[in-house]
């Protein structure tokens, strides 16, 4: 358990940069109220501390005699605040100047600029939320679809924390039994210990495994289903992209520092964030596509979660089609027979040799026909398990997945040790390992370095 003594006060702009109606400066720490009272003057003439906490107070921010902006100030006394510390939020006019000048003024009063994610980190360190909840905060902010948002909100509410706590309680019970049997090494106690341990450890193992298995689909909500659209020139890839993007376009991000070709588009397919990779390549003219060549698109195959391959069903399968079909073997592939509005020439029996029949869909990208079937198919592929129900806890974070995997392996070790009637000390070690690995998830057993790593991915002001 990390026990840091936090005694400094931090501040940052909490709203997104740019022009907007309101900008918010957030201050957290023991000096929040004192600093705010130095620079804020309410219209009523009363001090912030004379109002009940959580009141929005109207007034001016002043630097000496100079008015900076007209604002609303709220004081949230710890522990009833986001960070569980004393927090002041100053709502000023949006744009660049007001927020910047107020922040600078605050920072001139022995307050330091907050690091990325530091407010949320404090909420964790002060014990208001556990680590999986803190991590859910960034997932809520980054969610690309309603479903991804819902999953993150669930985690923020503590659904995963509760599940992990239940698991750990079970481990604690098991450990207690093992310890009794070690302390009182009579034969009959030992016998009972082994039989009950066996049953309970098996149950625990099953529960952990079940949770672990949600991670395969869960990761998709957080990171997007990495999708590559392939096919030789002129089969209709751009047309398909346009019809998929149609109403479903979510977000386009330019990845800084990479070539201008790499653009990610997020498309919302029935709540699944589809991350279509390398769309710039698809959009280029045919000769550029040829220049980039099949070779290059093959490179993105390895990391893709889903490959959508397009062929032109109004002509025969060509060598080039076959070459690509060979390469998609064994990958999650949906094969689209495009241009169904034209007379059909393709040999359907032949394509079935390459791709599972249920993953072959006829469409006309030009006329927007069959696109719904593509969406249904993607949905079916993602929701392989029973994770669709929102009441279920879903593992979306690869760090949690890794910790669960280790916990699961330790549970298997414990099972084997019990089955083989190994000395109970061995079993005890495995059980302790399970306990520790589960603790990574809620932050009970994490290092400071790991925490820094996690919170660095947050935005400033969160």
Q: Rank residues 180 and 342 by Cβ distance to ligand GDP and give the closer one.
A: 342
Q: Find the binder of ligand GDP among 26, 144, 237, 275 (CB under 6 A).
A: 237
Q: Find the binder of ligand GDP among 23, 29, 224, 231 (CB under 6 A).
A: 231
Exposure letters 39-48 (e unless 16+ CB within 10 A, then b): bbebeeeeeb
Question: Is residue 365 a contact residue for ligand GDP (CB under 6 A)?
Answer: yes
Residue 369: CB minimum distance to ligand GDP, A:
8
Could you say which DSSP state residue 60 is in? E
Q: Give the angle 456-87-57 at the CA atoms, nearest 5°.
A: 135
How many C-beta atoms lie closer than 10 Å to residue 249's C-beta?
13
Q: Measured on CA atoms in the order 402, 403, 404, 405, is the torsion positive or negative? A: positive
Residue 272: CB minimum distance to ligand GDP, A:
23
Q: Rank residues 122 and 375 by Cβ distance to ligand GDP and give the closer one.
A: 375
Q: Rank residues 330 and 343 by Cβ distance to ligand GDP and give the closer one.
A: 343
- What is the rounded distance in angstroms from the CA atom of residue 399 to the CA atom of residue 384? 22
Q: 251, 276 in Cβ contact below 8 A?
A: no
Question: Is residue 278 a contact residue for ligand GDP (CB under 6 A)?
Answer: no
With CB under 6 A as the contact rule, which of the stretches 12-20, 39-47, 364-372, 393-401 interacts with ligand GDP?
364-372
Query: Is 462 labeled as ligand-binding?
Result: yes
Question: Is residue 107 a contact residue for ligand GDP (CB under 6 A)?
Answer: no
Could you say which DSSP state residue 358 is in? G
Query: Is 254 labeled as ligand-binding?
Result: yes
Q: Find the binder of ligand GDP among 238, 268, 333, 396 (CB under 6 A).
A: 238
Between strands 40-42 and 272-277, the pairing is unpaired
Residue 371: CB minimum distance to ligand GDP, A:
10
**N-to-C CA span, the chain:** 23
Query: Is 313 labeled as ligand-binding?
Result: no
Q: Is the peptide bond before 79 cis (omega within 30 degrees of 0)?
A: yes
Query: Is 55 labeled as ligand-binding?
Result: no
Query: Is 281 labeled as ligand-binding?
Result: yes
Q: 426, 107 in Cβ contact below 8 A?
A: no
Question: Is residue 335 a contact residue for ligand GDP (CB under 6 A)?
Answer: no
* Contacts of residue 119, Cβ cutoff 8 Å, sequence gap at least 6: 10, 12, 14, 26, 28, 82, 83, 461, 462
Query: Is 457 labeled as ligand-binding?
Result: no
Question: Is residue 318 a contact residue for ligand GDP (CB under 6 A)?
Answer: no
Q: Give the angle 322-325-328 at the CA atoms, nearest 5°.
A: 155
- What is the rounded distance in angstroms from the CA atom of residue 420 to the CA atom of residue 403? 26
Site for ligand GDP, residues 392 to 421, rule: CB under 6 A:
none
With CB under 6 A as the contact rule, which of the stretches 138-146, 205-213, 271-279, 336-344 interacts with ligand GDP?
336-344
With CB under 6 A as the contact rule, which of the stretches 6-14, 337-345, 433-441, 454-462 interacts with ligand GDP?
337-345
Question: Is residue 366 a contact residue for ligand GDP (CB under 6 A)?
Answer: yes
- What is the rounded distance in angstroms from the CA atom of residue 448 to the CA atom of residue 233? 51
- What is the rounded distance in angstroms from the CA atom of residue 433 to the CA atom of residue 421? 19
- What is the rounded distance in angstroms from the CA atom of residue 313 to the CA atom of residue 304? 25
Residue 236: CB minimum distance to ligand GDP, A:
3
Site for ligand GDP, residues 258 to 277, rule: CB under 6 A:
none
Size of the site for ligand GDP (CB under 6 A): 17
Q: 263, 252 in Cβ contact below 8 A?
A: yes
Q: 405, 212 in Cβ contact below 8 A?
A: yes
Residue 356: CB minimum distance to ligand GDP, A:
23
Tokens read off for 456: 């660095």
Residue 342: CB minimum distance to ligand GDP, A:
5
Question: Is residue 338 a contact residue for ligand GDP (CB under 6 A)?
Answer: yes
Query: Is 287 labeled as ligand-binding?
Result: no
Q: Find the binder of ligand GDP among 239, 396, 397, 410 (CB under 6 A).
A: 239
Site for ligand GDP, residues 140 to 199, rule: CB under 6 A:
none
Question: Is residue 281 a contact residue for ligand GDP (CB under 6 A)?
Answer: no
Residue 285: CB minimum distance to ligand GDP, A:
9
- What is the rounded distance in angstroms from the CA atom of residue 30 to the CA atom of residue 402? 37
Between strands 40-42 and 56-63, the pairing is antiparallel
Residue 301: CB minimum distance to ligand GDP, A:
17
Q: Give the angle 25-28-32 at the CA atoms, nearest 5°.
A: 90
Q: 74, 88 in Cβ contact below 8 A?
A: yes
Question: Is residue 235 a contact residue for ligand GDP (CB under 6 A)?
Answer: yes
With CB under 6 A as the contact rule, which of the stretches 119-127, 210-218, 232-240, 267-275 interacts with ligand GDP?
232-240
Annotated binding site for (6S)-5-formyl-5,6,7,8-tetrahydrofolate: 26, 89, 128, 462
Binding footprint of ligand GDP on the chain (CB under 6 A): 231, 233-239, 282, 286, 338-339, 341-342, 364-366
């Amino acid at each position: 358990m990390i026990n840091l003594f936090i005694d400094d006060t931090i501040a940052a702009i909490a709203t997104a940069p740019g022009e907007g109606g309101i900008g918010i400066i957030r201050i957290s720490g023991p000096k929040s109220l004192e600093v705010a009272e130095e620079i804020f003057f309410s219209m009523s003439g009363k001090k912030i501390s004379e109002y009940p906490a959580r009141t929005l107070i109207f007034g001016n921010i002043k630097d000496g005699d100079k008015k900076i902006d007209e604002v609303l100030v709220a004081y949230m006394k710890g522990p009833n605040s986001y960070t569980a510390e004393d927090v002041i939020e100053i709502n000023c006019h949006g744009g660049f100047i007001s927020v910047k000048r107020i922040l600078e003024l605050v920072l001139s009063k022995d307050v330091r600029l907050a690091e990325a994610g530091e407010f949320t980190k404090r909420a964790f360190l002060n014990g208001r939320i556990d680590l999986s909840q803190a991590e859910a905060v960034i997932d809520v902010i980054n969610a690309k679809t309603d479903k991804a948002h819902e999953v993150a909100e669930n985690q923020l509410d503590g659904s995963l924390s509760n599940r992990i706590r239940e698991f750990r309680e079970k481990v604690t019970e098991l450990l207690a039994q093992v310890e009794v049997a070690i302390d009182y090494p009579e034969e009959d106690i030992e016998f009972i210990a082994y039989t009950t341990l066996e049953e309970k450890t098996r149950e625990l193992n099953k529960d952990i495994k079940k949770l672990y298995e949600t991670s395969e689909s869960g990761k998709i909500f957080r990171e997007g289903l990495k999708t590559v659209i392939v096919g030789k020139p002129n089969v209709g890839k751009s047309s398909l992209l346009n019809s998929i993007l149609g109403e479903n376009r979510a977000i386009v991000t330019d990845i800084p520092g990479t070539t201008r070709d790499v653009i990610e588009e997020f498309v919302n397919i029935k709540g699944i964030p589809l991350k279509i990779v390398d769309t710039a390549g698809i959009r280029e003219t045919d000769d550029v596509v040829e220049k980039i060549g099949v070779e290059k698109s093959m490179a993105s195959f390895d990391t893709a979660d889903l490959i959508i391959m397009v062929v032109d069903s109004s002509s025969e399968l060509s060598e080039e089609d076959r070459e690509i079909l060979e390469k998609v073997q064994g990958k999650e592939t949906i094969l689209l027979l495009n241009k169904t509005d034209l007379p059909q020439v393709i040999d359907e029996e032949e394509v079935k040799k390459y791709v599972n029949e249920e993953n072959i869909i006829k469409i006309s990208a030009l006329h927007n026909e069959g696109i719904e079937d593509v969406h249904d198919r993607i949905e079916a592929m993602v929701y392989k398990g029973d994770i669709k129900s929102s009441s279920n806890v879903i593992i979306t974070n690869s760090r949690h997945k890794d910790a669960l995997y280790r916990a699961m392996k330790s549970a298997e070790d414990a099972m084997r040790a019990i089955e083989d009637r190994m000395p109970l000390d061995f079993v005890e070690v495995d059980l302790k390992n399970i306990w520790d690995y589960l603790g990574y998830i809620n932050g009970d057993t994490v290092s400071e370095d790991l925490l820094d790593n996690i919170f660095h991915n947050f935005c400033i002001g969160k």
